[in-house]
Amino acid sequence: NNFILDFLGNRLNIEDDTYDATSCCGAFCEGHVKCDCLEELIRVVKPGGFVCVGIRKFFLETVEEYHKLELLMADLQRRGLWEPISRTVTQDYCEGYDGVVCFFKVN
């Protein structure tokens, strides 16, 4: 029912614990969102809800900003913000490139 146009990386005009899930696909590309946006995706999800992040595997290897993405994901787990459910490498995810899809449960 809501249409929100904003930049992921800012604090979104969404109350904490609003949604059952967030999904981020096609945003982790060179020059797009930064790794620190993960905390905002978590913030707007209710405890027990889910966050799904998809990215071309190639970008994890070639975009300097994303070299730290999975380290940050692990840090968010250590801090108790979420728990990993799965990490799947998908063949031919986008334009012939393999992808990585990570699925988390918010604490």
Confidence of residue 82 (pLDDT cuts 50, 70, 90): very high
**Strand ranges for 1-107 from DSSP E:** 19-25, 45-56, 82-94, 97-106
Gap between the Cα atoms of 94 and 58, Å rounded: 11
Give residue 11's pLDDT band: very low, low, confident or very high (50, 70, 90): very high
* CATH of range 19-106; options 3.30.1490.20, 3.40.50.720, 2.30.130.10, 3.40.50.150: 3.40.50.150
Tens-digit pLDDT profile for residues 40-74: 999 999 999 999 999 999 999 999 999 999 999 99
The per-residue b/e assignment along 76-91, b for 16 or more CB within 10 angstroms, e otherwise, is beeeebbeeeeeeeee
50 versus 5: which is more confidently predicted?
Answer: 50
Q: Is 104 helix (H, G, I), strand (E, B) or coil?
A: strand
Q: Distance between alpha carbon 77 and the CA centroid of its chain, in Å?
A: 13
Q: What is the DSSP letter of 78?
A: H
Average of per-residue pLDDT values in the chain: 94
What pTM was estimated for this model as a whole?
0.93
pLDDT value for 1: 75
Per domain, the residue ranges of the chain are 19-106
